[in-house]
Each structure stands twice: as structure tokens, then as C-alpha cells.
Amino acid sequence: MKNKSPSVTIYDTTLRDGTQGTGISFSVQDKLRVAERLDAFGVHFIEGGWPGSNPKDAEFFEEAARRTWKTALIAAFGMTRRGRVAVEKDAQVRCLLEASTPVVTIVGKTWPLHVTEVFGVTLEENLAMIRDTVRFLRDQGRRVFYDAEHFFDSYRENADYSMATIRAAKEAGAEEIILCDTNGGSLPSFVSEVTRDVVKVLGCAPGIHTHNDCGMGVANALAAVDAGAAQVQGTMNGYGERVGNCNLTTIIPVLQLKRNVALVPHIDQLTELSRFVDEIANAPHNIRAPFVGSAAFTHKGGLHVHAVQKLARTYEHIDPELVGNERVISISDLSGQSNVRMKAEAMGFPLPKGSPEVARVLEEVKHLEHKGYEFEAAEASFELLLRRLLGKHQPFFELEEYRCSFLRTSTDKHGENLCHATVAMNVNGKEIRTEGFGGGPVNALDEALRLALRPHYPVIETVRLNDYKVRIINGRRGTAARTRVFISSTDGSAEWGTVGVSGNVIEASWQALVDSFQYAMMRAELAKTAPQ
């Protein structure tokens, strides 16, 4: 059962235009998984790809045709017939029909410069290409959307011909006319002006497709909606060619939460969806992305945290839960007592305002940050520090010593390098010595540490390192510089970060590694005593 059409529809082109972005690639199964999540989220149209361009997109449409979609309609993308070729004989147009989608979106040329100099056809033939293709697809029972490529660039130079192209598409039966800022060079005032002109001439609401080359992708889409546009095309996380497309994770909440435009039923799943798509695309999460970034509702300055503690909306334009995000109180050398108190309370340790414990924690954090530590991305290390300072931490083992060795000889040129590590520690009153091997010293230490702890703490089996980052803090000291190591870990249900700092990269890595395992074991012990 399809939802009733809202005043604005969302057309997602992540799986087609988004894949033109540098570093973005999806398998067929990836595309199907993303499409299913977009459908569950509530977008109205999902553009699956260009079936005439590659076998992968053709296979996607075959699979998509076998599935039932709850909310979205699947669209195939293509272009107008070639010049001087009958539409029914155009192989690319036939591929669009074979995709068996209810919606077909075709792109056509608007800019006279592009028509004559790139396509090599007359302006009149271009209009015929548009009319013939739209009419043919409509006669075959498809809903047709028409993307007017380079519309805004063309409008600057020849408004009359630009209007003639979209009028041709409309008269031939196109259901939606989408104005494309293909080069991403337009500004909101111009987009607004042109969109109003189109509404007057066509007598109907167009759609808008913007790129972000001037950083205006979202602003231009919003300007078009304000001027009468009724469809917004874009991509999740702003993926797309060059610097990307209109970012749907920004424009959707702007329209729905700021303009009260009914768009999607599950906007509280937006953050989860954004990170899911990043994960499938193997793309780094943009922590500073509006609404969905992990830093979008992070408060670091002491004065800000103090205000948020009393009244959140003093420094938050919406409740983060509306988009499925969360408030984060960051600990750093800029922190005040409010940061520490809110952080401690969230960890189960409410501290009175002005208490000596708060002052002691704050003093230690600032001391450590001066030495090079950072706790913003290492909340697990901060919680362990807090517990130690409050006398609430019980170490799970005591280190006696560790050693690493690496031997390279002239015969190793084509062989595997292997590091060896030994760890001696006391675990539950028992002296344990283990050794590990790995491609590097940290890998070898990790293996030795796991061998020592696994028999006593089974949770270690589930701990996996997601990421390992090394940063030189004071590089001007050359090889004597201090090193900061961040480690990101997970046990399958949660993810945490730890930090270590030393003049020795192995020691800094060891600190972060030990904190990671200590945190995992602490979580497991707390889970045992938690009320069921």
C-alpha cells in the first residue's frame, strides 16, 4: 500500500548518481541492501542505476523486479534516443523497458552549447529526441520523469531554448520535469528565480537536482522548494561526482523538521541509515555532517556544556533523538566541571558540583592532554581514568614485563617479516608468560596478550580491533617526537576508543591496547551484575 503523495517527494539517486563519486562502489547485493533500507526509511523513489550501461545494473533491476517494495517506486535511468535514430530502434531505450520499473527517468540536453558542440545535432533534432523518447516510454505504460541537464547553465545563456526543451518533455507526457544544476555552480537566488519562471511557464511544480560544487547543493534544493519545486533529488551522505550531490541526510530533516513538510515516516532512523550506507560503501563517516554526524551534537567547551546541562536548546537547534543521533559531552583541556559531572553521571557516578573529585578529574585530564593525550575519541580510556581516580577500578591483570623483537637480514628481501613478543603478567594471582607472533610489533603484542587473558576472560575472544591510528604530536623533535595512538575496538555489540601516548610508539600502542581489553572485561563484569 503506497503512502499518499506528500507536497514534496524524495527521489534517491545514491545507487546511480552516488556511485559516480570517487571511491564509491556497490555490488549488486550492496545495492539491494541499500534499496531495502531506503524503502523501509520511506523515500518515495529509488533510482537503481542505468540498465543500458553495465551488466551489474541490469542484474540489479532483474532482482528488484522480484521483490515487493513497501514505500518506494524503483526507477531506471537512461537518456533520450540518439540523434537521427528511431526511438523504437534505440538499444539504450529498449534496455530501459527491459528493466521493468514503474518509473523511468531520462536525461536530455538543455544547453545549446552541449547540443551542437558535444552531441553534434541541431537544436530542433534535440527537441524531437526529447519528445519521441518521452512519448514512446509513456505509450509503453511507464511513468516518465525528465531530467533537464545543465538547465541553469543553459538558462543564463538562452532562456527561450531552455524552456522549449522542458515544454517538449511536458507536452509529450513527462510526469515530472526536474531542473538540474549539473555543474553545481548556481547560487540560491538564481535557482529560486529560475524555478519560479518555470512554474509560471509550465503551470506545474518541477523537481530539483543539485550538485555541491559551490557547497550549495542543499541550499539550492531548499531555494527551489521555496520557489515551488515538488521533488528533491539527492543522495545519502551527499555521494556523487566531483564533490557530490545534494545531501539527503541534510535536506530531509531541514524540510521535515524546520519547514514541517511531511516527507518520511521514520526520520528518527536517519542517523542509522546514514552510517549503514557509509558502511556498505566502505566510506569514512563524516563526523561533522549536519544532523547525522557523530560530532553534530557534541559539546566540548566548558561554558557550552554548563548551558546545555541546564537547557539543551541553548546550543542544540533540535533534539538529537529526532534524527536518531545522541548528545555527546566531550572531555578535553577546554572542559569545565560541567563536562566532567555530566560525563561521570552518564557513566553512573553522579558527582556534586564543586566536589574535590570533580576538580581532581579535571586537573588530571588537563595534565594528560598537555602531554599529548586526547579523550574525545577515546571515551573508554576516559572512563577507566575516571574509575581509577574515584577508586572504582579493579585491574584485571598486572603487567610484569613485555618484550618485542624483530630481526631483518639480507635474506629477508622476498620473505615475510615476522615480529615476536613475550608478555609476563599476573592474572588472578597466577604468573603467566605467553608469546605471540605477528606482522608487526603491535600485532605480536596483541596475540600474546590475548593468549594470556583468553582462558580467564572469554570476552577477549569477541574483541576485534576496527582501526589503529598513529599521530606524531611534536614532529619538530624528529625521531624523539612523542606519539599518540588511537585504537577503535568492538565486541560485536558496542564500539569504543582508547588512547596511549609515549615517546615510544610500541609503548603508546600497548597503553591503548591494554585499555581496550580492560574496558571489554569491565563491560562483561558489569553485565553480570546488571539487573535483568
Of residues 515 and 305, the one with the higher pLDDT is 515
Contact assessment for residue 198 and residue 206, using Cβ atoms and an 8 Å cutoff: yes
**Arithmetic mean of pLDDT over the chain:** 88
pLDDT in tens, 206-258: 999 999 999 999 999 999 999 999 999 999 999 999 999 999 999 999 999 99
Q: Which residues fall within 8 angstroms of residue 530, CB to CB, at 6 or more apart?
A: none
- Provide the pLDDT for residue 3: 39
* Residue-level pLDDT at 495: 84
Q: What is the pLDDT of residue 76?
A: 97
Say if residues 332 and 366 touch (Cβ distance below 8 Å): no
Rounded to a whole number, what is the distance in angstroms from the first to the last CA of the chain?
40
Q: What is the band of 4 on the pLDDT scale with cuts at 50, 70, 90?
A: very low
The per-residue pLDDT for range 93-130, each reduced to its tens digit, is 999 999 999 999 999 999 999 899 888 999 999 999 99
The pLDDT value given to residue 416? 61
Q: What percent of the chain has pLDDT over 70?
A: 89
Across 67-94, average pLDDT: 95
Task: Give the mean pLDDT of 327-352.
Answer: 68
pLDDT tens digit sequence for 165-187: 999 999 999 999 999 999 999 99
What span, in angstroms and rounded, lies between the C-alpha atoms of 152 and 197? Answer: 12
Going from the N-terminus, what domains does the chain have, and what CATH number goes with each?
9-281 (3.20.20.70), 298-371 (no CATH), 397-456 (3.30.160.270)
Find the mean pLDDT for residues 3-28.
Answer: 86
Residue 272 or 342, more confident: 272
Q: Which residues pair with 286 in a beta bridge?
A: none
Is the pLDDT reported for residue 68 higher than 50?
yes
The answer, yes or no, to whether residue 144 has pLDDT greater than 50, is: yes
- The radius of gyration of the chain from alpha carbons, rounded to an integer in Å, stands at 29
Average pLDDT over residues 7-13: 96
Helix (H) or strand (E) holding 272: helix 270-281
Instruction: Check residue 317 and give its pLDDT.
Output: 83
- SS3 category, 66: coil
What distance in Å separates the CA atoms of residue 147 and residue 105, rounded to the nearest whole number?
7
pLDDT at position 376 over 80 = no
Report pLDDT for 420. Answer: 92
- Quote the pLDDT of residue 1: 33
* Model confidence at 2: pLDDT above 50: no
Of 398, 399, 387, give the one whose Cα is nearest residue 526: 387
Q: pTM value?
A: 0.70
Quote the DSSP letter at residue 245.
B
